[in-house]
Amino acid sequence: MGILDNLLNKAAYTAKNAVANGVKSGVNAAVNGAKTANSENVQAANAVGANIGGSGVTMTAGKTSQGYASVTITFDALPKNLAELRATPLADLQTPYGTAALTVAALNQYEADKTATHEMVNFLRGPRPMSAYEEQFIRDRLAGKMYVIRSYWAGTSPQNNYTPTLPYSVTFYEDPYSYQNEGYCRLNSTSSGADSPRQITLRKKESTGEWFLWENYLLPDIRIPAEADPWA
C-alpha cells in the first residue's frame, strides 16, 4: 500500500469519526434539551415559589425564547450576613436556582463586608469551603469592580452604571448541556455588560438533596460603567 493509499484511508477514518462524534453530540444535546423542558428542578422551583409568599423572596418559573426553562428570583432586600442569608426561604438549598441566586446576593455584599461575604459563600459551598486562593480570586475580580456582580440584576446597564431596578431580580436558565453530568446542574445568567451568557455550576448532595455552589463563572470582566469610561 502506497503513501497515497495511507493518506486516503486516514482521511476516510477521520471523516467517519467526525460524523459519528457529530451525531453523538447532537443526540446528547437533544436528550439533555428534552430534560430541560420540564426538569425536576423547575418543578421544585415552582413548588418553592408557591410557598414563600410574604417572605421577601419570590421565585417564578418561565421559558427562554428558545424554549428552555428559566427561573427568576426576586429579593426585596439582600442578605448582609450569614444569619440573614440563612433566614431566607432559599437557604434550604433544595433547588440549584435558589443556590445560584443566593450566590449573586452574597457576592453583592463583598465591598461592604468581605468577612460576611466569605461566610455566606462558604455556607453555599457546603462541604467544600473556599481556599485562600479562591478568596483571592474573588478579591481580584470584585475589588473596585462591584459592577461585575451587580450586572446580573434586572434593570442594570453600563449606561446607568449598573444600577439595578428594585426589588433585586436575577434570572437563571437552562440549556441543552445543563444536566450533561449526573449530580451537577449548570445554569446560565445574562450580564448586562457582556455579549454572551455566564455560567454557574451547582452540585447536588444526594443524601440531603441540597444543591451547593461548585463552580462560579459569573465574574469575568465586562464593559465598564459609563462613569468610568472616558469615551462614554
Q: What is the pLDDT of residues 128-146, one digit of tens each?
A: 999 999 999 999 999 999 9
CB neighbours (10 Å) of residue 101?
Answer: 29
pLDDT tens column, 24-35: 444 444 444 444
Whether the pLDDT of residue 38 is over 70: the answer is no
Please list, in sequence order, all residues whose beta carbon lies within 8 angstroms of the beta carbon of residue 39, skipping any fewer than 6 positions away: 69, 174, 178, 179
232 — pLDDT class (breaks 50, 70, 90): confident
Q: Can you tell me the distance from the alpha carbon of 58 to that of 42, in angstroms, rounded to the nearest whole number?
A: 14
For residue 6, the model assigns a pLDDT of: 58
Where in the chain are the domains?
1-37, 38-228
CB 104 within 8 A of CB 149: yes
Q: Can you tell me the distance from the alpha carbon of 96 to that of 98, in angstroms, rounded to the nearest whole number?
A: 5
Whether the pLDDT of residue 17 is over 60: the answer is no
C-alpha cell of 56? Answer: 421577601
Q: Given the DSSP bridges, would you call strands 198-205 and 57-63 parallel, antiparallel or unpaired?
A: unpaired
C-alpha cell of 176? Answer: 441543552
pLDDT tens column, 40-67: 888 888 888 888 888 999 999 999 999 9
Mean pLDDT of 173-179: 96
Whether the pLDDT of residue 219 is over 50: the answer is yes
Q: Can you tell me the distance from the alpha carbon of 210 to that of 204, in angstroms, rounded to the nearest whole number?
A: 6
Cell 425536576 sits on residue: 40
Q: Can you tell me the distance from the alpha carbon of 38 to that of 191, in angstroms, rounded to the nearest whole number?
A: 25
Lowest mean pLDDT among 53-62, 101-110, 163-172: 53-62
For residue 57, the model assigns a pLDDT of: 97
Specify the amino acid at residue 12.
A
For residue 1, the model assigns a pLDDT of: 52
Pick the closest to residue 57 from 77, 29, 82 (CA basis).
77
Whether the pLDDT of residue 190 is over 90: the answer is yes
